[in-house]
Amino acid sequence: MASTSERLTADDLAAMIRDAGGIVPESMIVRELDAAKCLPVSYDTLQRWRNTKHPHGPPYIRVGARAYYDLRALASWLSAADRR
């Protein structure tokens, strides 16, 4: 894990999910742009799903006007989407 002075990039997070077989060891919250980089969809698609309350989009957390995603929830969502 990176120290507090070394922040993980979205690419690091995506690689972490892939390397762990979709299992994230600790709960980590990421911004919407970073979440989109971890998913097989574009940032625009992720925003559209959230704004239209798409029933098959990943769960998110709203804080003010911003949307955040828990990497564990994204990993679970990806796993469930693979089974459909």
In a domain, 3, yes or no: no
pLDDT value at 57 more than 70: yes
In this prediction, residues 66-77 reach a mean pLDDT of 86
pLDDT of 45 reads: 92
Q: Is the model's pLDDT at 5 over the cut of 80?
A: no
Is pLDDT at 38 greater than 50 in this prediction? Answer: yes
Confidence category of residue 29, pLDDT binned at 50, 70, 90: confident
pLDDT of residue 36: 87
Segments forming the whole domain that contains residue 78: 10-83
Domain for residue 64, yes or no? Answer: yes
Q: Is 5 inside a domain boundary? A: no
For the whole model, what pTM was predicted?
A: 0.64
> Number of structural domains, the chain?
1
DSSP of 5-51: TSPPPHHHHHHHHHHTTT--SS--EEEHHHHHHHSSS-HHHHHHHHH
